[in-house]
Amino acid sequence: MNRYKITFASACFGMLLFGISLITLGSVASDLQEKFQLDAVDSGTLFSILPIGIILGSLLFGPVSDRYGYKFFFVVSCACLLLGFQGIAWSESLGLLRFCIFLFGFGGGAINGATNAVVADISSDNNKGANLSLLGVFFGIGALGMPSVLAALEKQFSVQQVVASVGLLPVAAAVLFLFTRFPPPKRNQGVGADAIFSLLRNSFLWLIGFFLFCQSAVEGVINNWTTTYLEKHFSFAGSRALFTLSLYVAGLTVMRLALGSVLRNVSPSRIMALSLALLFTGAFILRTTHTPAFATAALIISGAGLAAGFPVMLGFAGARFAELSATAFSIILTVALAGNMIINYVTGIVIDRFGIGQYTTITLVLYAAMVPLTYFILRKQQKEIPKS
């Protein structure tokens, strides 16, 4: 196996860890609520710590990686994930649990950003989007796998034992990262304020950031509100609603696999046109149908439509900002995560005031915003020659 394949495989293992970590807290939420006797407000406060950690990890990994290389931050991220997993499994103190969840989020956010930046760095400009799509497949495997593992082993082992055992994977990842050759540091003297301000003044970076602001918001809204919508509108049982949500993730994962293989040579403009068409089709069906089977199909279609956004846009950013790719990814991913948090908060207010039916209205508004952003991004991408 050549060096490129080893580096790519290491990044995929890191993304698998991020998929597992992002879904773990939600998968064990009811057990934590029972263990610590948490009410709805306490639970909400506890779970809000995770995205704070993810945003901070996403913000810091870029400048540190561009200055010192990727290896250091990968190993630190694995240590944070190890402590996070074990803390979620065994903490007896609520304060310690909160700290471990923060570490969990920090490690996950950093490893997500770093794996994307590494794959962008080692890929040619023509292959960045396709390779980032393949990387995203491993996020889906991790996100789908953790609930399945918990369900399969619930009769033989406690939730704490399963989480603690899965939580040893960061040790294996850290060892792998230590022996992997990553792209060298880009700035031996560090990333100065002038370089960061230059990035912040670049309109192309902000167009990508705001597109992914909308994309991340849609993903968060679907993840957080779909089960409630299905239960209220279609009388789904809780387990059936969760299974349907997993089919949405499966649709996203399968489409990313297609983008990285059979659709690898299709132009980004056609990929994005297909993606937006699938998004509107899925949202329209979900809003208008009264048939459970059509609602399920709509979510699978929506998942497929969301598959291309992050790989294509991060591929553009990796090509355009190659000299400071990790720092550029930090800024973009922080904007994207802010969209997830802000729009989910707004969605909660809207649904509380006007009902769960407005869930589909919010997704349609976000899709509508993504159309002109896509147009301007593709236009600037065609005009600007990527810097090497």
Those residues whose C-beta lies under 8 Å from the C-beta of residue 11, and which sit 6 or more positions away, are: 115, 118, 119, 135
Average confidence (pLDDT) over 113-122: 92
Judgement on whether residues 172 and 302 belong to the same structural domain of the protein: no
Of the candidates 382, 315, 325, which has an alpha carbon nearest to the alpha carbon of residue 125?
Answer: 315
Judgement on whether residues 319 and 202 belong to the same structural domain of the protein: yes
- Residue 186: its H or E element: none
Yes or no: say if 177 and 78 are a contact pair by the CB < 8 Å rule. Answer: yes
C-alpha separations of 45 from 24, 51, 222 in Å: 17, 11, 21
Q: Give the CA angle between residues 80, 101, 61 to the nearest 5°.
A: 45
Residue 168 structural domain = 1-191
Those residues whose C-beta lies under 8 Å from the C-beta of residue 259, and which sit 6 or more positions away, are: 129, 130, 133, 271, 307, 308, 311
Yes or no: say if 211 and 370 are a contact pair by the CB < 8 Å rule. Answer: yes
| Both tokens assigned to 215 | 């994309």
Q: Tokens 């969990």 map to which residue? A: 104
pLDDT digits (tens, 9 = 90+) for 93-111: 989 999 999 999 999 999 9
Judgement on whether residues 105 and 186 belong to the same structural domain of the protein: yes
**Which one-letter DSSP state was computed for residue 324?**
G
CA 150 to chain centre: 21
Query: Into how many domains does the chain fold?
Result: 2
**CATH for 241:** 1.20.1250.20
Of 150, 169, 191, which closes a domain? 191
The mean pLDDT value of the chain amounts to 87
CA 274 to chain centre: 21
Q: Give the helix ranges, DSSP H, for 183-291.
A: 193-200, 203-234, 238-259, 268-288
Judgement on whether residues 177 and 212 belong to the same structural domain of the protein: no
Lowest mean pLDDT among 188-202, 262-276, 328-342, 363-377: 188-202
Of 132, 159, 191, which closes a domain? 191
pLDDT at 17 over 50: yes
Reported confidence tier of residue 307, pLDDT bands at 50, 70, 90: very high
Judgement on whether residues 56 and 182 belong to the same structural domain of the protein: yes
Judgement on whether residues 271 and 198 belong to the same structural domain of the protein: yes
Q: For residue 202, how many other CB atoms are within 10 A of its CB?
A: 18
Of the candidates 319, 315, 312, 311, which has an alpha carbon nearest to the alpha carbon of residue 386?
Answer: 319
| Both tokens assigned to 169 | 């994977």
C-alpha separations of 280 from 300, 301, 332 in Å: 12, 9, 24
- Name the 3-class secondary structure at 91: coil
The pTM of the full predicted model, rounded to 2 decimals, is 0.84
Yes or no: say if 272 and 378 are a contact pair by the CB < 8 Å rule. Answer: yes
Q: For residue 176, how many other CB atoms are within 10 A of its CB?
A: 16
- In whole angstroms, what is the distance from residue 103 CA to residue 121 CA? 27
Of the candidates 129, 85, 110, 131, which has an alpha carbon nearest to the alpha carbon of residue 177?
Answer: 110
pLDDT digits (tens, 9 = 90+) for 227-280: 888 888 888 887 788 788 888 989 999 999 999 988 888 999 999 999 999 999
Q: Tokens 């920090």 map to which residue? A: 106
Judgement on whether residues 269 and 230 belong to the same structural domain of the protein: yes
| Both tokens assigned to 290 | 């009264």
DSSP 279-290: HHHHHHHHHH--
- Name the 3-class secondary structure at 307: coil
Q: How many CA atoms lie within 13 A of 33 on its CB side?
A: 14
Lowest mean pLDDT among 136-140, 350-354, 366-370: 350-354
- In whole angstroms, what is the distance from residue 286 CA to residue 291 CA? 9
Judgement on whether residues 247 and 235 belong to the same structural domain of the protein: yes
Judgement on whether residues 1 and 94 belong to the same structural domain of the protein: yes
Average confidence (pLDDT) over 29-47: 75
Judgement on whether residues 21 and 126 belong to the same structural domain of the protein: yes
| Both tokens assigned to 91 | 């903490």
- In whole angstroms, what is the distance from residue 297 CA to residue 234 CA? 14
Of 143, 166, 191, which closes a domain? 191
pLDDT digits (tens, 9 = 90+) for 267-300: 999 999 999 999 999 999 998 998 999 999 999 9
Judgement on whether residues 162 and 244 belong to the same structural domain of the protein: no
Judgement on whether residues 153 and 84 belong to the same structural domain of the protein: yes
Q: Give the CA angle between residues 179, 184, 188 to the nearest 5°.
A: 130
